[in-house]
Amino acid sequence: MFTEGSAIVTIKTGLSYGREEEIHKKLAENGIAVSHRGVLGHYGIRASPHIYNTVEDVEVFLEELMASLKTFIST
């Protein structure tokens, strides 16, 4: 998918810092390596896909992220 370097992306969900931390933990439990970054009230889920990631890796990440977001938005 990627041919050079990396593409770091921070996704701002609009949820609280605590909710995003829960999403981060759930993704990690499912083997998805992301981080939860934040400073001075600006935070988000950070993904760093690299040349070694496949299209399927990205699709799994997005599916898991969307499932987590739906869970927290509906509660």
pLDDT per residue, tens digit, the chain (75 aa), is: 555 666 888 999 999 999 999 999 999 999 999 999 988 888 999 999 888 889 999 999 999 999 999 988 876
Residue type, 9: V
Per-residue b or e along 2-31, where b marks 16 or more CB atoms closer than 10 Å to that residue's CB: eeeeeeeebeebebeeebbeebbebbeeee
pLDDT at 5: 61
